[in-house]
Amino acid sequence: VVYVLFRPISRYYYKKVNKVLTEVLWLELIWLVDWWAGVEIELYADSETFNLLGKENALLICNHRSDIDWLIGWVLAERMGCLGSIVAIMKNEIKYLPVLGWSMWFADFLFLARNWAKDEKSLKTGFEQQVRNPVPFWLALFAEGTRFTQTKLIEAQEFARSRGMPIPKNVLVPRTKGFVTAVMHTRTFVPVIYDCTFTVSKTEPSPTMLRIFQGIPCTVKVQAKRHKMEELPETADGIAQWCKDLFVAKDALLEQYNTTDIFSEFELQKIRRHKRSIMVVLIWSCLLGFLLYKFFKWSSLLSTWQGILLTVVFLIIVSAVMETLIHSSQSESSKPADLPIQDPIKQRLLQK
């Protein structure tokens, strides 16, 4: 309704209203992470970066370590006050997920069709539309193009070796086209880049959506390093090399943690959980419970075999939707973008 009524008239007011509605919906997932599963997020950053988080337009370039890195990003955005204005680049299938994927589409997320000839134009349009965003926003990009697994790491090492590049141990080789396009089309209105490095405590299992629903806690470590956009090279090749060098540094940081238990040289910042996600979940639960009570009382749905059958079918559909959400977040289901590259080694890497 908001999309139909506001967007054709004023994109400015559409973004304002949609930010509020998006936060109300996404806060339920924040509640799952913060209060149901009890996931601890440790943020390492210098004081200047920490004080500016959420207060300025920023391009986030992240490694893709776990199945729920995107959700950890949402939690950080919520604590910094910009949850409803975060935008990310996702695979195209995500936008078809009931409720969650639709909300991403309405929030102007950018979706890749795994074909650079098609994606380049849509990315340029999507980036340029952000210039009219009325509130500070984060544009998140996972430059590796897929989640980190040991199988994909072996492929990345083979590719890096064939190209004379540094051999990664804890990250994949970044695909720089998307990052270069993002920088070239946003640098006039996005002043900074946040280099975000994710990892999980070595003594705990990597978080997944299934473990989140099961209420299994873990500790996620995030380092945020701020770079001014004006410091980046002007040429496409220079920007691509900057991105590659950044991932070499990420790899060294993660290797340091693996060998010394020291994750970051920056200060551990205090970021407390907000209770508003609890309030949103309570309000939604009470409202839904009241509506269901009134519906069943009015329809006498459970008093007939047909009504019971319809209820069972509805519950099956809800379960299927949840299963789809969990499956879509698993590492095994992720695929990188299908770029037009002729090198056979790199082609096998992209097909993983």
> Each residue of 305-348: pLDDT tens digit?
776 777 777 777 766 766 666 565 555 444 443 333 334 444 44
Residue 81 pLDDT level (bands cut at 50, 70, 90): very high
Higher pLDDT, 219 or 117: 219
pLDDT for position 343: 44
Chain-centre distance of CA 210, in angstroms? Answer: 17
Instruction: For residue range 260-303, list pLDDT tens digits in order.
Output: 999 999 999 999 899 999 999 999 999 988 988 887 777 776 66
With contact defined as beta carbons under 8 Å apart, do 329 and 67 qualify? yes
8-26 pLDDT, tens digit per residue, is 787 778 888 889 999 999 9
Edge-to-edge strand list for the sheet holding 268-269: 110-112, 86-91, 138-142, 58-62, 192-200, 219-228, 40-44, 268-269
Pair 92, 114: CB distance under 8 Å: yes
Give the confidence band of 84 by pLDDT, cuts at 50, 70, 90: very high
Listed range (44-58, 200-214, 311-325) with the worst mean pLDDT = 311-325
Residue 327: predicted pLDDT = 60
Q: What is the pLDDT of residue 205?
A: 82
**Range from 130-144, 214-228, 313-327 carrying the lowest mean pLDDT:** 313-327
Q: Which domains does the chain have, with CATH numbers?
A: 2-275+325-351 (3.40.1130)
Q: For residue 115, what pLDDT band results from cuts at 50, 70 and 90?
A: confident
Work out the average pLDDT over 104-129: 88
Query: DSSP string covering 74-123, please?
Result: HHHHHHHT-GGGEEEEEEGGGGGSTTHHHHHHHTT-EEE-S-HHHHHHHH
Characterise 50 by phi-psi region: left (phi > 0), alpha (psi -120 to 50), beta (else).
Answer: alpha
What is the reported pTM?
0.84
Rounded distance, CA 124 to CA 201, Å? 37
CA atoms of 167 and 154, how far apart (whole Å): 10
> CA-CA distances (angstroms) from residue 9 to 3, 4, 87, 167?
10, 9, 22, 52
Q: Mean pLDDT, to the nearest integer, of 90-118? A: 88
Query: In the predicted model, what is the mean pLDDT of the chain?
Result: 87
Residue 336 neighbours by CB under 8 Å, 6+ apart: 114, 144, 145, 146, 175, 349, 350, 352
